A and B are shown apart, each in its own frame.
Chain A
Amino acid sequence: MSEKEGLFGFLSRRRFLKAGLVAGGAILGVGGGGLLVLRGRAPEVEGLLVLDAHEYRTLQSLVEVMLPKTDAIPVDAAPMDLPRAFDRFLADEPEQNVKDLQKALVLIEFGPLVFDKKATTFSRLDPAERSAHWDAWAVSDSLLRRQVSLAMRKFFNLVYFDHEEVWPFIGYPGPSMKRLGKLTP
């Protein structure tokens, strides 16, 4: 039983049913077996608590476009393994939130097919296409897509910018207690 809504509580079953109908239309055109071919095999990942390898890969692909290494902040997010942080987060979320979130990951992965009518998946898009596709989620007419975009942005931004390696590039000297030494009121 869930006590809480949480970051992903907006992902209601009714909404997914609705999105599923849209997805279903696109998927019918490809066929169930075709979907698996489209998605391909994801590399094995050791030690995941909740996610499977495909879901992990979707999140890796997402992090690549959300938090790229740039001139402004030349810090690669890959070594931080943010998808694994997400997996750990999910491990302590209520069961329904986890299920809903996994559906959201399926929707992201097949987003190019469902929303752009392209016979490919999110992880297989080249970085520029993937970035453009993901940007469209944030300003979509679909509330569900905007919500998924917002939830992902909140989680991954918060965790990424909590990493010390990033701070020199944003002018943050770190927690004041460490800077100022032991203080008492």
Chain B
Amino acid sequence: MTAGITDLSKTAPPDSLVTEVCVIGSGCGGATAARLLAEAGHEVVVLEEGRDLVGPERTQRDAEMYDQLYMDRGGRASHDMSVSVLQGRVLGGGGVINTCDVVPIPEGVLHHWQSKYGLEDFSPAQFKRFEEAALGDLSASRIPESLVNEANNKLRQGAEALGFRGEVMVHNRVGCRGLGTCLIGCPIHAKRNPRMVALPRAIDAGARVFTRARAVKITKATEEMKQITVRTLDPRGYHEQRELHVRAKIVIVAANAIASPQLLLRSGIGNAHVGKNLMLQPQLPVIGLFDDRIAAFDGVPQSYAVTEFEEEDHAEHGLWGYRIEGIMGTPGIVSSLLPFSGAPGMAGMAQYDRMAPSLLLVPDAPSGRVEVARDGRLTIRYEQRSDHQERLRDAVENAAKVYLEAGAREVLVPTLPALTIRSAKEAKQARKLTFAPATAPLISAHQQGTVRFAPSERDGGADLDGQVYGTKDVYVFDSSGYPTSASSHTMTPIISSSRMLTTKLLTRI
């Protein structure tokens, strides 16, 4: 098969493929690696479980898009359902369904990784050139004022009135028309994501990309070669169809911080660190309710961030504190996050066009793990730490003050029972929130840390080249490697670190 994209639900694959490099996952980490390797003249095969869903196929409709663009049809959650785990399952990965926030790894975090975890290659001086290249890949620029919608402006107005530091965010959109459905894919391809940048260049350089191709196991084929067992899926991606084998000298796993350790664990690869140290960075929505129409569903959904409470160089944890960032979704997803049923639910959604929601983005320390049962069933275990809950309560209180200052009639915290805040004094009620499992709509969009990079096998699952300990030429090039939270948004960190790790790999092959 020649360079290009082949949908294995429609095209019968050969029983086996042989390549020099097999990249598993087509998101920020995998696509970047595939591109650099292919451009350097290496033979590359990319495997992606999702399909290539482009242009008008991105219908801006909730049910269909969450089903087709997200892992487990949008329903993935931690073991006790305390955190909804959002991950892309589409060619291009998370970059297709994110809100385009370009937030590099803060220098404080890089220093922290160096001093506490021995990640020498991640020194700001060494890392900078890879980060600059990543920013170039993303065509990063400040979101223009014309695309900051009313909901984000309310957040800004309130923050400025209270003297809180904040900023219009940097993004990776070019030609954005403010269609508002970033979370379920941009129909006009305004996102400069891996689907639009790295993958086309990888293909131009000869890479072969297979979609609806689920990698289920990596085994040793010969001294030099690994064998990846792949199951093809039906066109909707629900059912496995047939099996093929890909043989490769080098395997790069970049399937995200859940699926990468899942694959390694299923394969019996790696040491005891694999799957551990999971960070979900859970976020909680809060909603400012206004008397006037806000129409937050139009324009860029996430364009302003209150950064007053964020710490980038916490001595113990690196990135800490929290951010408050505007957000909005289509009606289906917003309603699914509200805590009401029956008439109260209807009354709540009747205010949809007057909502100005935000997400409270609170970095966490490792407190979870990925497990795979003998029957292949995945479990994402996660316990929300008390320090995370405490910062989240503080974030709720301050977000409520911000919206009230901006003129909100009330602020809804969509927990069970729901908390409604109508004054700065009432904001203190946030102190009583418990976040018991299945009572708060916590969302994870930035999973990290399950195959931690470390200079010694004693301290992590992969070495500083990303090579999984106990293997030869099996690498992890995604956010699994981060020892602590890299950033409030992981797209730029993953592209940057994948660039660095791939560049190092190229010096050895």
Q: A67 contacts which chain B residues (CB < 8 A)?
A: 342, 345-346
Choice from B56, B74, B350 contacting A177 with Cβ under 8 Å: B56
How many angstroms from the CA of A73 to the CA of B188 in the assembled complex? Answer: 32
B332 near A161 with CB under 8 A, answer yes
Q: B179 contacts which chain A residues (CB < 8 A)?
A: 176-177, 180, 183
A3 near B62 with CB under 8 A, answer no
Quick one: CB contact mask for A1-28 with B, threshold 8 Å, 1 for yes?
A: 1111111111000000000000000000
Tier of interface size on chain A: 35 or more
Give the shortest distance, in Å, between A175 (CB) and chain B (any CB). Answer: 4
Q: B177 contacts which chain A residues (CB < 8 A)?
A: 176, 180, 183, 185
B353 near A177 with CB under 8 A, answer no
Choice from B72, B339, B345 contacting A7 with Cβ under 8 Å: B72
Choice from B331, B342, B354 contacting A65 with Cβ under 8 Å: B342
Q: B380 contacts which chain A residues (CB < 8 A)?
A: 5
Q: A44 contacts which chain B residues (CB < 8 A)?
A: none
Quick one: CB contact mask for B63-89 with A, threshold 8 Å, 1 for yes?
A: 100100001111111011100000000
Q: A92 contacts which chain B residues (CB < 8 A)?
A: 236, 238-239
A96 near B377 with CB under 8 A, answer yes
How many angstroms from the CA of A150 to the CA of B337 in the assembled complex? Answer: 9
Choice from A162, A180, A185 contacting B175 with Cβ under 8 Å: A185
B181 near A176 with CB under 8 A, answer yes
Give the shortest distance, in Å, between B473 (CB) and chain A (any CB). Answer: 26
B331 near A172 with CB under 8 A, answer yes
Q: B60 contacts the other chain (Cβ, under 8 Å)? A: yes
Contact segment of A33-41, A51-59, A103-111, A135-143: A135-143
Give the shortest distance, in Å, between B18 (CB) and chain A (any CB). Answer: 26
A153 near B75 with CB under 8 A, answer no
How many angstroms from the CA of A65 to the CA of B176 in the assembled complex? Answer: 41
Choice from A143, A159, A175, A184 contacting B181 with Cβ under 8 Å: A175
Q: A96 contacts which chain B residues (CB < 8 A)?
A: 377
A3 near B60 with CB under 8 A, answer no
Q: A139 contacts which chain B residues (CB < 8 A)?
A: 416-417, 439
Choice from B61, B180, B347 contacting A162 with Cβ under 8 Å: B61
A158 near B63 with CB under 8 A, answer yes
How many angstroms from the CA of A144 to the CA of B376 in the assembled complex? Answer: 23
B63 near A185 with CB under 8 A, answer no
| Minimum CB distance partner of A178 in chain B | B60
Give the shortest distance, in Å, between A27 (CB) and chain B (any CB). Answer: 25
Choice from A2, A6, A131, A171 contacting B75 with Cβ under 8 Å: A6
Quick one: CB contact mask for A46-90 with B, threshold 8 Å, 1 for yes?
A: 000000000000000000011110101100000000000100010
A138 near B341 with CB under 8 A, answer yes
Q: B375 contacts the other chain (Cβ, under 8 Å)? A: yes
Task: Using known A-B contacts A68-B342, A138-B339, determine if residue A147 contacts B332 with beta carbons closer than 8 Å.
Answer: no
A162 near B331 with CB under 8 A, answer yes
How many angstroms from the CA of A175 to the CA of B171 in the assembled complex? Answer: 22
How many angstroms from the CA of A164 to the CA of B117 in the assembled complex? Answer: 52
Contact segment of B153-161, B293-301, B460-468: B293-301
Task: Using known A-B contacts A7-B73, A139-B416, A180-B177, determine if residue A161 contacts B59 with beta carbons closer than 8 Å.
Answer: no
Q: B297 contacts which chain A residues (CB < 8 A)?
A: 172, 176
A3 near B376 with CB under 8 A, answer yes
How many angstroms from the CA of A153 to the CA of B80 in the assembled complex? Answer: 16
A176 near B180 with CB under 8 A, answer yes
How many angstroms from the CA of A134 to the CA of B343 in the assembled complex? Answer: 13
Choice from B76, B214, B331, B343 contacting A6 with Cβ under 8 Å: B76
Give the shortest distance, in Å, between B135 (CB) and chain A (any CB). Answer: 19
How many angstroms from the CA of A65 to the CA of B353 in the assembled complex? Answer: 24
B378 near A150 with CB under 8 A, answer no
Choice from A1, A5, A146 contacting B379 with Cβ under 8 Å: A5
Give the shortest distance, in Å, between B290 (CB) and chain A (any CB). Answer: 12
How many angstroms from the CA of A135 to the CA of B341 in the assembled complex? Answer: 7
How many angstroms from the CA of A8 to the CA of B375 in the assembled complex? Answer: 17
Task: Using known A-B contacts A66-B345, A92-B239, determine if residue A147 contacts B188 with beta carbons closer than 8 Å.
Answer: no
Q: A42 contacts the other chain (Cβ, under 8 Å)? A: no
B62 near A162 with CB under 8 A, answer yes
Q: A162 contacts which chain B residues (CB < 8 A)?
A: 61-63, 330-332
How many angstroms from the CA of A169 to the CA of B349 in the assembled complex? Answer: 9
Give the shortest distance, in Å, between A10 (CB) and chain B (any CB). Answer: 5
A170 near B352 with CB under 8 A, answer yes
Q: A166 contacts the other chain (Cβ, under 8 Å)? A: yes
How many angstroms from the CA of A3 to the CA of B177 in the assembled complex? Answer: 38
A-B contact pairs, 7 of them (CB 8 A): A73-B349, A146-B437, A146-B439, A160-B332, A162-B332, A175-B61, A176-B298
5 A-B pairs closest in CB distance: A171-B353, A7-B75, A185-B175, A175-B60, A92-B238
Interface residues of chain A, those whose CB is within 8 Å of chain B, are 1-10, 65-68, 70, 72-73, 85, 89, 92-93, 96, 131, 134-135, 138-139, 143, 146-147, 149-151, 153-155, 157-162, 166-167, 169-172, 175-177, 180, 183-185
Interface residues of chain B, those whose CB is within 8 Å of chain A, are 56, 59-63, 66, 71-77, 79-81, 174-181, 187-190, 214, 216, 236, 238-239, 293, 295, 297-298, 330-336, 338-339, 341-343, 345-347, 349-354, 375-380, 416-417, 436-439
